[in-house]
Amino acid sequence: MAKYRKLGRTSSQRKALLRNQITALLYRGRIITTEAKAKEIRSGAEALITLAKKERDNFETVTVTAKVARKDKDGKRVKEVKDGKKVTVYDEVKKEIKKDLPSRLHARRQMLKVLNPVVEVPDTQAGKKRNTKKVDMCEKLFNDIAPKYAERNGGYTRIVKVGPRKGDGAMMVVIELV
C-alpha cells in the first residue's frame, strides 16, 4: 500500500502540482480543489508551517555599512566628472539586517524545495513588468503565518466540502488556513 496518493499522475507531475497548490494555499490563504488533492496538500502545508514556527525567532540582527548611489529628486543617479569621466556618487549608509542562524537557514532552504516563486501583479496595468514585485514566501511564513499559529499545536488547515464537480462528479473542497 502506498504512503501517499498518486493522483493519477507521474511523480514529476504530482510533485509540481503539489508544490503549486501548497504555494497558492500559503500565499492566498484558501484554495478550491478536489478532496484527494486537498488531503495531500494538508500534510505538506502543515509541515512547512511547523518548520516556520520552530525557526521564526532564530536570527540575529547585524548592522552593516553599504554603499548606496546618491539620487536626485527625479530618482536618477547623481554623476560627477572625475578625470574626464562621469562617475556615480555613492554614500555610505548603515543598515540593520536579519542574519539567519544556521538552523533557520537550513529551514529556509527546506521551504524553498517546496515553495514556488510568487510574483505579485497589480490589478491596474496588469501584465506590466515594471509594476510587479516578487514575494518572498519564506519571509511570509516566518513573519506572518508562524506567529499566527504560535500557540497552536498542529491543525493549521481546514477542509470544507463544497459538493461534486459538474463535469466528472469529483468531490470539491475548500482548503484554508484556520
4-20 pLDDT tens trace: 889 889 999 999 999 99
DSSP 92-159: EEEEEEEEE-HHHHHHHHHHHHHPPPEEE--STTTT-GGG-EEE-HHHHIIIIIHHHTTT--S--EEE
The pLDDT, as a whole number, for residue 170 is 94
Q: What is the mean pLDDT of residues 98-103?
A: 92
Domains and CATH numbers, the chain: 11-58+101-177 (3.90.1030.10), 59-100 (no CATH)
Amino acid at position 66, single letter: A
Q: What's the mean per-residue pLDDT of the chain?
A: 91
Band (121; pLDDT cuts 50, 70, 90): confident
The pLDDT, as a whole number, for residue 122 is 78
Q: What is the mean pLDDT of residues 23-48?
A: 96
Tens digit of each residue's pLDDT (9 = 90 or more) over 76-96: 888 888 888 899 989 999 999
Measured on CA atoms in the order 48, 137, 115, 170, is the torsion positive or negative? positive
Which of 105, 113, 18 lies closest to 55 in space, CA to CA? 105
The pLDDT, as a whole number, for residue 1 is 59
DSSP 14-79: HHHHHHHHHHHHHHHSEEEEEHHHHHHHHHHHHHHHHHHHHHTT-EEEEEEEEEEE-B-TTSPBPE
Band (37; pLDDT cuts 50, 70, 90): very high
Tens digit of each residue's pLDDT (9 = 90 or more) over 124-156: 766 667 778 899 999 999 999 999 999 999 999
The pLDDT, as a whole number, for residue 124 is 75
Asked if residue 141 lies in contact with residue 49, where contact means CB atoms within 8 angstroms, the answer is yes
Band (120; pLDDT cuts 50, 70, 90): confident
Q: What is the mean pLDDT of residues 115-130?
A: 79
